[in-house]
Each structure stands twice: as structure tokens, then as C-alpha cells.
């Protein structure tokens, strides 16, 4: 049992756990004496601490959780069942218990199981229902009155299902089966050096990190002030995983490609992820660079080796938020020193990341963002080695059509494939099996391919291949002739 | 090269993928002194392949050329020699994610078949995980072993030649996940349960027919598996085409063009849209579904074994 705690099998305070009730998930931080609301119920997680992940709990009155032992299904003694519903009349009076009666039962703290039993006994039509209908009735009531929740360990499977159900907008409607395709088509595995550009709350990043198991490295390209990793933090990765994680601002990609990159300025602290305005600046490090206005850092930069004049700086600061001013007023030397240390650390890491990218030998590229994919692909593929897979997700098909065409024109890629997956769930029960619901559309589209060494000369074979994908010319002519 | 490690250059003994163009490729075992025939002519391994970078263009004897690609489980799936019906990457992706496979996972699989899924599992659980795969057909088991050696992944996989329904997986309480692709999976559910770790794990069974699924679900329930869920995943592929549609000639246009309701901002022949002989066409890009697509491979039934 000691071992299981070490392996992270037990629920500990401070963990990110996922609550599950039937098909509904919710990620929560496990804290003592903190009220959690889930599926119209409130409770405290205190009692769950120390239990093994996967344990099912019952919510008792007062919101405490009691581990539910796996019980023998108490089969309701129903030897009677009808064959069809020819004599069942809906008069609204079949249930003899009133709404108030049920509420009274609940308030007494009577177990959900008992309530369900009472409902069955007080249903005049229950015995006339078919066996299947009785089953269905019991299931429905159980769902309502037997409050059981299971606490499970987060994983890509659970988190991607949860996000798609709860907050699809935050992950650009990336359905979990589509994410699964991306991980496979991208050949994500331990030891890779991956480049990721995502605006899916860090879910795609987390999925990639899970598949890499802390081996290799991930470079996350981010827009604005910093990467969003709300979903990534739900995975509960060990600290060591984050040692292999790098980030690089998208706004610096062009300067990196053109060789004018400098680490002099950084985007602002990852706080609200507001797009930061760019402006051209004078020579820094004897180089023309794109500079980003930064919060907080601008002062320490001035203290360091920035050429910005005091005057300019204060003008910039006027536009800054008051938080900064307050901190400046309080700002003692130690504060500034601490900031400088952080600043230097960030800069060091940025230089390191730039060097990793400049090797241009990444093992793959994954893109899933709210931006148009074409410019991202055309730039970021520069950093990928030949014979490596890349996968682009987009909520819409049209941008990927353009991306496909542009990549073909540019060359250096083969085996381009535009695809989509549909997912179908089934209800499987004796004599009652059928598809549950059709999920289609809204799951997004994927463009995948493989990089190859870039050709200087357009060869005829690649144009041949391109032709194969176009409508044959003869057909077009025929159409026109017909209409003459 | 290895199936669990990228390499930059092609070496003697590697398995490489020769890419000839649109969806046409084949695997080749690189050997000093060997020759490979393609429709573009001969590839001489010693001079054309060994030492070259993966992803580079190789010119064949007739002047035509091919690309040489680094092997991946997905490319292997498209090119492997079929000894059985195989699983394709669409199903494999969902299986991998829903079984929660990752580096370090211990997985049991049966049957090995042609090894399409096996390669994908090995890729995902490397470098610290392991695959125990069971195949009752002796020749197929042998062939799979050979392939794993050739692909330099034999240290990550154990092939057993036995009947999983009778003798199980040959391991107990070690697996994080179990995968079944056999004609009667319901007979192996008990063995799957004992192969899984005491603290629990995931299971998946692949069956083409709904009757098989029904019996499997019943068996899973009897053995106390929870979260039983049956899914089916379909892949739709689109061809990217430029389509031209003709603008119908409705006779002499009224003076007011807008009354036709057609947005003439299209690339082609503005103004002459309603000319007499001018062929007015509107062009657009479209993702056209393939004429034929795979409608059904099989049902995937997932479930969880928990501690209780």
C-alpha cells in the first residue's frame, strides 16, 4: 500500500483529480474544507484523500463522501412484467408519492437506493410495464436519486473528453477522436523533439507530453504574452516533465528565420495572453529587431542594457496598468534584483530555445490553433527535419484547402492528406443494441503530411502528382464544348 | 534507424520506405550490394541509399526519382505484408488514446496477426514499457518475431505462440492495458482480467460483428469491468480540387446586374458573365469526398478494471 502512494495511485491534497458521474467529468483541485459543486450536488473532498483513484463515493447529507462498496445489485423483486403497453394509460396519477413526499424522504437523509425502491412500490403502472421498460425506469430513477461519484486520475482520454463536452470553445472544438488521430499521425513518442503551436488551453500540449513521458523535448510556440497551460496543469505531470518543455514567442519567428533574432526583449509575463503590440525599435545589439512592448520587464531592461531613454520608458509606462505603478512605488532594491534574476533566467531560456529551433532538426510539428494555419505552417515547417510527420488541425475545412494548395506550391512536403473522423457510440444490451448518437461535424479537420528535402528545381513528377489531384483537363474541355 | 528512434541517415540493415508518388510506396530492406526495381528504374543500395539522408530524393536509373522515408508505425501499416486482416491507423489512434497508453505502459495483445497494431503500441510504450503479444498461429508468431528483430524493437516485445482463450497471456497482474482482436474475445475476458494489474487498467476488444460485441459486453460485465463503452470510428478523406461551375446563360442580362443575385466578384470574366458566347464560370476550391470510403472496420469496446 505504501508503494501505491508512491506511484501516485492515491488521492492526495493538492492533486488535480477528475470527478466522474456517468458520462460527465469535472476537473477539480483536491483541497480540504473546500466546497465542490458537481452535477447539482455539493460536497467536500476531505474524505476522499488517501483513497485510491477510481474509488466510487456516495454523497451523504452534509456533503461528505463515503466510499461505496461494490454491492451485489439488489435486484428488485419483480416477477411480474407486462408484454406490451396496450393497457398503460398516461393519466399522470401512476406515482402515488407526491413531490413533497419525495422531498421529505430526501430531507430525512434516506439513502437514494431506498427512495428508488419506494418509487417503484408506489408506481401503479410498474408491474404492467415490460421487463425492458422496468429496467429503463429503474435506471432513470437511480441516476436521479443515487448520488454516486467516482474520482479518477486525469489522462488525455478523460481530459479531452471532458473539455469537448464542457468547454469546446476553449479547444477550438477539437473532438477527442481527432486529437487521437493527431497524436498517431504525428508519430508522437518518447525521445522526439517536437514543435507545438496550440491555442487549446494547453490540452494538446498535455496530450503530447503524456505520450512523450518526459523523454525528448517540446518547444511550444505561443502568441501574445505567454503560453496558456490551464489544461496542461490538470494532467498532474511530475516536475521533471517541465524541464524538457521550452517556449518561444511566435512574434519572434520571423526574426529567427531571417537571422536577426535577439533576446533583448521578451513578451510580457504570461498573464492574460493579450496580444502584444509590436513596434520597430532602434538598434539593439547592433541589430535591427522586432521589439515587443513589455510590462514589468521594461524597467529592469532599462536597468540592464537597453538603449531606451528614460523619457521613452516613462512614456511607455504611462500606458501600463496601475498594478505596475504600485509595485514600482513599493519596489525596493531586493524586488528589482529578484525581477532581474527572473528576467535573466527567462532570457537565458529564450536563447536556449532559439538555438534548439535554429538546428532545424525537429522531429515533427503539431498545429491546433484559432489562427489561420497557412502562415503558421509555411514558417514553422522551416524548423522540421526532412522525413518527419506534421499535423495541422483546423475547426474548418476551407483554411486547410488553402494550406494544402500553398504547401504544394512551396514543395518540401509529400503525402498530404486532408481528413476528418466521425465517431459513433453504441448502446449494447441484450436485444436492445443500436447506435447511440451520431457525432459528426464540429470535430474539426486534419491536414497531415511528411517533410522531405526541399527541391530547388520544380520537378515534373511533383507537378504530375499535383495534376492527379486536379480535375483532368479533358473533362473541363468537354464541359465547355457541351455548353457551346 | 529503429521504429522507436529517428535517425538522420540511411544505414545498412535499415527498413526504409520508398515513396513513388501519390499513395504509392513500398518498404525496402537496405543491404550493401542490393538492388531494388521501381517503375522509374533501379535503385542501387550501396550508392543510392546508404549514407543518404532520410527524406531525400533518389534518382533512379531511368532518370525518374523517388523519396526515401524514415519508417514509422503508420507508414509500416500502409506497407506491411498482410498475413491477416489488419488494423489501420484510424482505429489504432483511438485504441492508443482510450487505453491510455504512454511510455512505460505494459500492454497485452492478442492476436499479433500481421503486427500492424503491435508496432504502434511498441512505439508508444518505449523506452520503458513492454508488449506481451500472443498469437496461436505458429508461422505468424515466428514471422512477427523476425520483423520485430529487423525493426530493432525486439527488446520491447515478447511474442508467445499459444491460444489466448485457453492459456491466457502468460503473465498476471502486470498489464496496464489489454487489447483483443480475436474471433471470440468473450472467451478471453477472464484471462485479460488476470493479466491486468491488481489496481486496475483498461481493456479494448475489436470485433467486426455486433453479435460478437454483445457477447463480449456480457462477459465484461460478468467479470466486473466498468465503464463499458462501444464505439466506431470512421475516416473521411477529402481530395482537394479546384472546381469550376458554369454560370447559366439566362439570356440578355437586365441593365442591373445585381438583380440576378449572383456575386460577380469571382476571379473569372467579370462583366461578361452574361455574354452570349462567353463561357462564364465560377471557380472555387473544394474538399471532395472520395468516391468510395471504408464504411466499417469494426466495433471497439472499451472498459475499465478497477480495484473494487
Round the CA-based radius of gyration of chain A to a whole number and report it: 30
| Residue A471 located in a structural domain | no
- Cell numbers that stand for A251 in this block: 512574434
Cβ atoms of B10 and B31 within 8 Å: the answer is no
Cβ atoms of B274 and B253 within 8 Å: the answer is yes
Q: For residue A288, is pLDDT > 90?
A: no
Q: For residue B281, is pLDDT > 50?
A: yes
Number of structural domains in chain A: 2
Determine the pLDDT at residue B94: 98
- Cell numbers that stand for A262 in this block: 535577439
Q: For residue B164, is pLDDT > 80?
A: yes
Q: What is the pLDDT of residues A23-48, one digit of tens each?
A: 899 999 999 999 999 988 889 999 99
Q: Residue A376 CB: number of other CB atoms within 10 A? A: 20
Give B175's DSSP letter: B
- What percent of chain B has pLDDT above 70? 91
| Residue A194 located in a structural domain | yes
- What percent of chain A has pLDDT above 90? 51
Q: How confident is the model at residue A472 (pLDDT cuts 50, 70, 90)?
A: very low
Query: Final residue of a domain: which of A112, A130, A153?
Result: A153
Determine the pLDDT at residue A148: 87
The reply to whether A118 and A249 lie within a common domain is no
Listed residue (B8, B295, B218) closest to A388, CA to CA: B8
Q: For residue A476, is pLDDT > 60?
A: no
Q: Give the H or E element holding residue A406.
A: helix A398-410
Q: How confident is the model at residue A155 (pLDDT cuts 50, 70, 90)?
A: very high
Q: How far apart are CA B159 and CA B150, in angstroms?
A: 14
Half-sphere exposure of A223 (CA within 13 A, CB side): 15
Q: For residue B20, is pLDDT > 70?
A: yes
| Residue A305 located in a structural domain | no
The reply to whether A229 and A146 lie within a common domain is no
The reply to whether A147 and A163 lie within a common domain is no
Q: How far apart are CA B22 and CA A89, in angstroms?
A: 64
| Residue A460 located in a structural domain | no
The reply to whether A202 and A140 lie within a common domain is no
Residue B193: phi and psi, rounded to 5, are -60, -40
Query: Final residue of a domain: which of A127, A153, A179?
Result: A153
Q: For residue A408, is pLDDT > 60?
A: yes
Number of residues that this document lists for chain A: 484
- Which residues have a Cβ under 8 Å from the Cβ of B25 and sit 6 or more positions away? B17, B18, B19, B69, B75, B78, B79
The reply to whether A185 and A98 lie within a common domain is no
Listed residue (B74, B86, B135) closest to B109, CA to CA: B135
Start-to-end Cα distance in chain B: 44
Q: How confident is the model at residue A305 (pLDDT cuts 50, 70, 90)?
A: very low
Measured in angstroms, the CA of B161 and the nearest CA of chain A are apart by: 28
Where residue A144 sits, what CATH number does that domain have? 3.10.330.20
- Cell numbers that stand for B220 in this block: 465484461
Determine the pLDDT at residue A286: 30
Q: How far apart are CA B175 and CA B195, in angstroms?
A: 6
The reply to whether A284 and A267 lie within a common domain is yes
- Which residues have a Cβ under 8 Å from the Cβ of A148 and sit 6 or more positions away? A21, A56, A57, A58, A59, A68
Q: How far apart are CA A131 and CA A125, in angstroms?
A: 12
Give B5's DSSP letter: B
Of B89, B304, B307, nearest to A184 by CB-CB distance is B89
Listed residue (A60, A18, A355, A322) closest to A163, CA to CA: A18
Query: Final residue of a domain: which of A135, A153, A171?
Result: A153
Round the CA-based radius of gyration of chain B to a whole number and report it: 26
Q: For residue A294, is pLDDT > 60?
A: no
Q: What is the pLDDT of residues A413-423, one digit of tens each?
A: 999 999 999 99
Inter-chain residue contact A483 with B74, CB threshold 8 Å: no
The reply to whether A105 and A199 lie within a common domain is no
- For helices A156-166 and A203-212, the axis angle rounded to 10 degrees is 170
Cβ atoms of B156 and B125 within 8 Å: the answer is yes
> Scanning every residue of chain A, which has its alpha carbon at the shortest distance from the alpha carbon of B74?
A185
The reply to whether A104 and A220 lie within a common domain is no
Question: For the residues of A153-181, what is the DSSP string, one character each?
Answer: ---HHHHHHHHHHH-GGGGTT--HHHHHH
Arithmetic mean of pLDDT, A290-316:
34
Higher pLDDT, A126 or B303: B303
Give B56's DSSP letter: -
Inter-chain residue contact A400 with B98, CB threshold 8 Å: no
- B/e letters for B28-43, b = 16+ CB within 10 Å, e = fewer, are bebeeeeebebebeeb
Determine the pLDDT at residue B298: 97
Q: For residue A381, is pLDDT > 80?
A: yes
Cβ atoms of A152 and A48 within 8 Å: the answer is no
Of B6, B100, B236, nearest to A419 by CB-CB distance is B236
Interface test with B, best of A18, A387, A470, A474 (most B CBs within 10 A): A387
Q: For residue B238, is pLDDT > 80?
A: yes
Measured in angstroms, the CA of B211 and the nearest CA of chain A are apart by: 9
Question: For the residues of A424-453, what is the DSSP string, one character each?
Answer: EEEE--TT--EEEEEE-SSS-EEEEEEE-P
Arithmetic mean of pLDDT, B74-88:
96
The reply to whether A146 and A18 lie within a common domain is yes
Residues of A in contact with B287 (CB under 8 A): 397, 400-401, 418, 445
Strands annotated E in B30-134: 35-38, 41-44, 57-59, 65-69, 106-110, 130-134
Q: What is the pLDDT of residues A367-380, one digit of tens each?
A: 999 999 999 999 99
Q: How confident is the model at residue A78 (pLDDT cuts 50, 70, 90)?
A: low
- Which residues have a Cβ under 8 Å from the Cβ of A37 and sit 6 or more positions away? none
A479-to-A242, A471, B39, B245 alpha-carbon distances in Å: 59, 12, 34, 10
Where residue A243 sits, what CATH number does that domain have? 3.40.50.150
Measured in angstroms, the CA of B287 and the nearest CA of chain A are apart by: 7
Measured in angstroms, the CA of B204 and the nearest CA of chain A are apart by: 14
Determine the pLDDT at residue A115: 83
Instruction: Return the C-alpha torsion angle B177, B183, B186, B191, nearest 10.
Output: -50
Give B186's DSSP letter: G
> Scanning every residue of chain A, which has its alpha carbon at the shortest distance from the alpha carbon of B242?
A470
Give the residue carrying C-alpha cell 520571423. A254
Q: Dihedral sign, CA of A321, A324, A325, A326?
A: positive
Determine the pLDDT at residue A6: 53
The reply to whether A217 and A187 lie within a common domain is yes
Listed residue (B214, B220, B187, B182) closest to B202, CA to CA: B220
Give B45's DSSP letter: I
Measured in angstroms, the CA of B139 and the nearest CA of chain A are apart by: 29
Inter-chain residue contact A421 with B240, CB threshold 8 Å: no
Interface test with B, best of A24, A69, A149, A190 (most B CBs within 10 A): A190
Measured in angstroms, the CA of B281 and the nearest CA of chain A are apart by: 10
| Residue A403 located in a structural domain | yes
Q: How far apart are CA A190 and CA A35, in angstroms?
A: 39
Give the residue carrying C-alpha cell 520587464. A297
Of B19, B231, B308, nearest to A425 by CB-CB distance is B231
Partnered with residue A426 across adjacent β-strands are A435, B230
Specify the range with the lowest mean pLDDT, choosing from A449-463, B40-54, B119-133, B142-156.
A449-463
Helix, strand, coil percentages, rounded to 5, for chain B: 25, 30, 40
Q: How confident is the model at residue B170 (pLDDT cuts 50, 70, 90)?
A: very high
Arithmetic mean of pLDDT, A115-136:
84
Q: For residue A339, is pLDDT > 80?
A: yes
Give the three-state DSSP class for A366. Answer: strand
| Residue A380 located in a structural domain | yes
Give B49's DSSP letter: I
Q: For residue A63, is pLDDT > 90?
A: no
- Which residues have a Cβ under 8 Å from the Cβ of A253 and sit 6 or more positions away? A221, A379, A380
Inter-chain residue contact B124 with A181, CB threshold 8 Å: no
Question: For the residues of A97-123, what is the DSSP string, one character each?
Answer: S-HHHHHHHHHTT--HHHHHHHHHHTB
Of A363, A419, A484, nearest to B235 by CB-CB distance is A419
Q: For residue B203, is pLDDT > 90?
A: yes
- What percent of chain B has pLDDT above 90? 83
Give the three-state DSSP class for A235. Answer: coil
Cβ atoms of A51 and A9 within 8 Å: the answer is no
Q: Give me chain B's average pLDDT, please.
A: 91
Interface test with A, best of B240, B290, B293, B298 (most A CBs within 10 A): B240
Give the three-state DSSP class for A139. Answer: helix
Q: How confident is the model at residue A474 (pLDDT cuts 50, 70, 90)?
A: very low
> What range does the domain containing A142 cover?
1-153
Q: How far apart are CA A113 and CA A105, in angstroms?
A: 11
Q: How far apart are CA A215 and CA A193, in angstroms?
A: 9
Q: How confident is the model at residue A159 (pLDDT cuts 50, 70, 90)?
A: very high
Residues of A in contact with B2 (CB under 8 A): none
Q: For residue B126, is pLDDT > 90?
A: yes
Give the three-state DSSP class for A87. Answer: coil
Q: How far apart are CA A445 and CA A168, in angstroms?
A: 15
Number of residues that this document lists for chain B: 308
Q: How confident is the model at residue A441 (pLDDT cuts 50, 70, 90)?
A: low
Q: Dihedral sign, CA of A337, A343, A346, A347?
A: negative
Residues of B in contact with A407 (CB under 8 A): none
Q: What is the pLDDT of residues A82-97, one digit of tens each?
A: 888 888 888 888 888 8
| Residue A20 located in a structural domain | yes
| Residue A326 located in a structural domain | yes
The reply to whether A226 and A145 lie within a common domain is no
Q: For residue A110, is pLDDT > 80?
A: no
The reply to whether A294 and A163 lie within a common domain is yes
CA angle A394, A399, A400 (to 5 degrees): 65
Interface test with A, best of B66, B93, B198, B293 (most A CBs within 10 A): B93
Q: For residue A323, is pLDDT > 70?
A: no
Q: How confident is the model at residue B86 (pLDDT cuts 50, 70, 90)?
A: very high
Interface test with A, best of B1, B6, B54, B242 (most A CBs within 10 A): B6
Arithmetic mean of pLDDT, A145-151:
86
Q: How far apart are CA A187 and CA B5, in angstroms?
A: 11
Measured in angstroms, the CA of B201 and the nearest CA of chain A are apart by: 10
Partnered with residue B284 across adjacent β-strands are B243
A281-to-A84, A244, A252, A265, A308 alpha-carbon distances in Å: 81, 33, 14, 11, 9
Q: How far apart are CA B260 and CA B255, in angstroms?
A: 10
Residues of A in contact with B79 (CB under 8 A): none
Q: What is the pLDDT of residues A181-233, one digit of tens each?
A: 999 999 999 999 999 999 999 999 999 999 999 999 999 999 999 999 999 99
Amino acid at each position: 500500500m505504501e508503494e501505491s502512494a508512491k506511484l501516485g495511485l492515491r488521492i492526495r491534497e493538492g492533486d488535480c483529480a477528475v470527478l466522474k458521474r456517468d458520462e460527465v467529468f469535472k476537473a477539480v483541485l483536491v483541497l480540504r474544507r473546500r466546497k465542490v459543486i458537481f452535477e447539482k450536488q455539493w460536497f467536500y473532498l476531505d474524505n476522499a484523500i488517501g483513497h485510491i483513484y477510481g474509488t466510487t463515493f456516495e454523497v451523504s447529507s452534509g456533503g461528505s463522501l463515503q466510499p461505496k462498496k461494490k454491492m451485489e445489485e439488489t435486484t428488485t423483486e419483480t416477477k411480474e412484467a407486462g408484454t406490451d403497453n396496450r393497457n398503460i394509460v398516461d393519466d399522470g396519477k401512476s406515482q402515488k408519492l407526491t413531490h413533497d413526499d419525495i422531498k421529505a424522504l430526501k430531507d430525512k437523509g434516506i439513502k437514494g437506493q431506498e427512495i428508488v425502491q419506494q418509487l417503484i412500490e408506489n408506481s401503479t403502472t410498474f408491474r404492467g410495464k415490460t421487463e425492458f421498460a422496468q429496467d429503463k425506469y429503474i435506471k432513470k430513477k437511480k441516476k436521479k436519486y443515487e448520488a454516486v461519484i467516482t474520482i479518477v486520475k486525469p489522462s488525455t482520454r478523460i481530459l479531452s473528453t471532458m473539455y469537448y463536452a464542457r468547454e469546446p470553445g476553449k479547444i477550438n472544438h477539437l473532438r477527442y477522436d481527432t486529437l487521437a488521430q493527431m497524436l498517431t499521425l504525428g508519430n508522437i513518442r518518447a525521445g522526439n523533439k517536437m514543435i507545438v503551436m496550440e491555442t487549446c488551453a494547453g490540452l494538446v500540449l498535455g496530450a503530447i507530453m503524456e505520450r512523450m513521458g518526459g523523454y525528448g523535448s517540446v518547444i511550444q510556440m505561443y502568441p501574445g504574452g505567454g503560453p496558456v497551460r490551464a489544461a496542461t496543469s490538470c494532467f498532474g505531470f511530475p516536475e521533471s516533465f517541465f524541464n524538457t518543455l521550452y517556449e518561444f514567442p511566435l512574434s519572434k519567428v520571423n526574426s529567427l528565420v531571417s537571422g536577426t533574432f535577439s533576446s533583448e526583449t521578451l513578451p510580457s509575463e504570461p498573464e492574460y495572453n493579450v496580444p502584444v503590440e509590436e513596434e520597430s525599435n532602434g538598434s539593439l545589439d547592433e541589430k535591427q529587431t522586432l521589439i515587443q512592448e513589455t510590462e514589468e520587464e521594461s524597467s529592469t531592461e532599462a536597468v540592464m542594457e537597453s538603449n531606451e531613454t528614460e523619457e521613452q520608458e516613462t512614456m511607455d509606462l504611462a500606458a501600463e496598468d496601475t498594478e505596475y505603478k504600485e509595485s514600482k512605488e513599493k519596489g525596493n532594491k531586493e524586488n528589482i534584483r529578484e525581477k532581474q534574476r527572473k528576467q535573466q533566467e527567462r532570457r537565458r531560456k529564450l536563447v536556449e530555445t532559439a538555438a534548439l529551433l535554429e538546428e532545424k532538426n525537429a522531429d515533427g510539428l503539431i498545429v491546433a490553433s484559432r489562427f489561420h494555419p497557412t502562415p503558421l505552417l509555411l514558417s514553422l515547417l522551416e524548423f522540421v527535419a526532412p522525413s518527419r510527420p506534421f499535423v495541422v488541425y483546423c475547426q474548418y475545412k476551407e483554411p486547410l484547402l488553402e494550406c494544402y494548395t500553398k504547401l504544394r506550391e512551396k514543395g518540401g512536403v509529400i503525402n498530404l492528406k486532408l481528413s476528418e473522423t466521425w465517431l459513433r457510440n453504441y448502446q449494447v444490451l441484450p436485444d436492445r443494441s443500436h447506435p447511440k448518437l451520431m457525432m459528426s461535424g464540429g470535430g474539426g479537420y486534419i491536414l497531415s503530411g511528411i517533410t522531405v528535402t526541399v527541391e530547388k528545381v520544380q520537378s515534373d513528377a511533383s507537378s504530375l502528382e499535383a495534376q492527379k489531384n486536379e480535375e483532368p483537363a479533358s473533362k473541363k474541355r468537354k464541359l465547355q464544348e457541351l455548353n457551346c | 534507424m529503429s521504429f522507436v528512434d529517428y535517425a538522420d541517415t540511411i544505414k545498412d540493415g535499415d527498413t526504409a520506405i520508398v515513396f513513388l508518388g501519390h499513395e504509392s510506396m513500398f518498404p525496402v530492406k537496405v543491404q550493401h550490394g542490393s538492388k531494388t526495381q521501381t517503375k522509374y528504374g533501379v535503385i542501387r543500395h550501396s550508392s543510392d541509399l546508404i549514407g543518404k539522408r532520410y527524406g531525400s530524393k533518389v534518382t533512379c536509373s531511368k532518370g525518374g526519382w523517388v523519396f526515401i522515408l524514415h519508417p514509422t508505425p503508420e507508414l509500416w501499416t500502409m506497407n506491411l505484408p498482410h498475413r491477416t486482416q489488419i488494423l489501420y491507423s484510424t482505429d489504432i489512434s483511438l485504441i492508443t488514446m482510450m487505453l491510455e497508453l504512454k511510455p512505460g505502459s505494459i500492454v497485452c495483445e492478442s492476436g499479433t496477426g500481421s503486427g500492424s497494431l503491435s508496432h504502434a503500441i511498441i512505439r508508444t510504450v518505449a523506452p520503458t514499457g513492454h508488449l506481451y503479444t500472443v498469437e496461436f498461429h505458429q508461422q505468424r508468431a515466428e514471422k512477427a518475431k523476425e520483423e520485430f528483430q529487423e525493426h530493432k524493437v525486439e527488446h520491447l516485445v515478447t511474442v508467445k505462440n499459444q491460444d489466448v482463450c485457453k492459456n491466457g497471456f502468460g503473465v498476471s497482474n502486470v498489464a496496464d492495458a489489454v487489447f483483443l482482436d480475436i474471433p471470440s474475445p468473450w472467451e478471453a475476458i477472464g484471462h485479460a482480467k488476470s493479466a491486468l494489474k491488481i489496481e486496475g487498467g483498461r481493456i479494448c476488444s475489436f470485433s467486426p460483428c455486433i453479435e460478437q460485441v454483445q457477447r463480449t459486453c456480457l462477459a465484461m460485465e460478468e467479470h466486473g469491468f466498468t465503464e463499458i463503452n462501444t464505439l466506431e470510428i470512421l475516416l473521411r478523406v477529402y481530395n482537394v480540387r479546384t472546381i469550376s461551375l458554369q454560370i447559366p446563360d439566362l439570356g440578355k442580362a437586365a441593365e442591373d446586374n445585381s438583380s440576378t443575385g449572383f456575386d460577380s466578384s469571382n476571379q473569372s470574366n467579370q462583366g461578361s458573365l452574361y455574354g452570349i458566347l462567353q463561357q462564364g464560370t465560377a471557380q472555387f476550391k473544394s474538399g471532395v469526398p472520395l468516391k468510395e470510403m471504408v464504411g466499417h472496420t469494426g466495433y471497439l469496446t472499451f472498459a475499465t478494471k478497477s480495484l473494487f
